[in-house]
Amino acid sequence: GIQVEQSPPDLILQEGANSTLRCNFSDSVNNLQWFHQNPWGQLINLFYIPSGTKQNGRLSATTVATERYSLLYISSSQTTDSGVYFCAGGAGSYQLTFGKGTKLSVIP
Amino acid sequence: ETGVTQTPRHLVMGMTNKKSLKCEQHLGHNAMYWYKQSAKKPLELMFVYNFKEQTENNSVPSRFSPECPNSSHLFLHLHTLQPEDSALYLCASSRPVSGANVLTFGAGSRLTVL
């Protein structure tokens, strides 16, 4: 099956700083999604981005499908950005393989 | 509020109990999923239903029994669980986007097995 590696596993930022999270895939995927899990467990879908670049407010994501990686950019971080960021990938069907996540802590 | 509602949010049960988790989606999606999230492990897909028909069963023990009476409701029936089954159980539904299934999750049901 597809292996998903996320880096870094942990990240501590000062409020206002920018960050880049990375997700590598062992094989090609045509379904790639980024999620944010808040401290209470709620997972929110941030992006569906099998290729190219998308932006949503302070967040943006870029996927380079030919090189099997995706990046999530967080700009001007806020304390509410804290939580765990997951990427997940799949190649057809309903199977999505999740990475172990990047735990982000934004401190005031 | 994501449009996917899970109840109960917290559940404590003994190993001999029978309980059920419920999931309801108000998004008009066709597919519904159960995922398990254990401490320090990636999310694991348990079951998928599409138009009420089970399409995926990832070798889940029979003490977990899913039920999907219609496209909006999904249940996970639990019986004779083990302490290692304690986890956050997440329900999701999906919509098709360019052939891919884009997930929307509920808030989860945190299960503790004593």
B42 to chain A, closest Cα gap in Å: 5
Which among A45, A94, A98 has the least Cβ separation from residue B56?
Answer: A94
pLDDT of residue B29: 94
Residue range B38-48, pLDDT digits in tens: 987 889 999 99
pLDDT of residue A93: 77
pLDDT of residue B41: 85
The answer for B 35-94 residues in CB contact with A (under 8 A) is: 37, 40-43, 45, 48, 50, 55-56, 88, 90, 92, 94
The Cα B25–Cα A108 span in angstroms is: 36
Preferred mutation among B43, B57, B58 to probe A, highest tally of A CBs within 10 A: B43
| Average pLDDT by stretches of 10, chain A with 108 residues | 95 97 96 95 96 97 97 97 97 89 97
Amino acid at the residue A68: R
Q: Which of B48, B4, B43, B49 is nearest to B22 (CA)?
A: B4
DSSP B47-103: EEEETTEEEEE-S--TTEEEEEEETTEEEEEEES--GGG-EEEEEEEEEEETTEEEE
Q: Which residues of A touch B101 (CB under 8 A)?
A: 31, 94, 96
CA distances from B74 to A99, B28, B31, B68 (A): 25, 14, 10, 5
pLDDT of residue B9: 96
Query: What is the Cα Rg of chain A in Å?
Result: 13
CA distances from A45 to B28, B58, B73, B92, B113 (A): 17, 23, 21, 11, 29
> Does the distance separating the beta carbons of B2 and A44 come in below 8 Å?
yes
Residue range B23-36, pLDDT digits in tens: 999 999 999 999 99
Q: What are phi and psi of A79, to 5 degrees?
A: -60, -30
Question: A31 in contact with B at a CB cutoff of 8 Å?
Answer: yes
Q: Which residues of B touch A88 (CB under 8 A)?
A: 43, 103
Question: Residue A52 corresponds to which tokens in the numbers above?
Answer: 């190219």
Residue range B47-100, pLDDT digits in tens: 999 887 888 888 899 999 999 999 999 999 999 999 999 999 999 999 988 888
